Amino acid sequence: MDKKRGSAVRPADGSTRRLPLFLTGLIFPLLTVFFFKTNVAAQSDLTRPLDFSRYGLIAANYLREIWDFGGWPLSQALLALIALQQAGYFFIYVITPHDLQLHLDTSLVRLLYQTYPLTLFTFFTLSKNSPC
């Protein structure tokens, strides 16, 4: 069987003439999808990083909770070691689709508890009376 050049790209029956009709038929479904996306669909999670007012609210809550957390004096060495983990948490709050203040009130302390073992390890490692 001999294969003609371009036969895989161009249909043999001349259906390219029907392409304008096909595209015309797509107008109604595309308009329906456009209407749904603009008026009905939920907002995307990825639009939250552009709302810069969220950054201040998150940072203020972080500082308040870290200052009061565990009753310890604020140590820059401890904050430096856990900064990367906290930065990850911070940006998760930035993109959250939920009510930001409610989300901060219900989860930030729990996230600080997850950092607590690392903070204890760092504290005792840097302590002058450490047996290590």
Is residue 63 domain-resident? yes
**Positions in the chain short of pLDDT 50:** none
Is residue 39 domain-resident? no
| Closest of 85, 104, 97, 86 to residue 46, by C-alpha | 97
**Residue length, the chain?**
132
96 CB-contact burial (10 Å; exposed 0-12 / middle 13-18 / buried 19+): middle
Query: What is the pLDDT at residue 106?
Result: 92
Is residue 3 domain-resident? no
Q: What is the pTM of this model?
A: 0.43
Is residue 60 domain-resident? yes
Is residue 113 domain-resident? yes
96: domain range? 45-126
Is residue 101 domain-resident? yes
Distance CA 52, CA 49 (A): 7
Number of domains in the chain: 1
Phi, psi of 108 (to 5 degrees): -65, -45
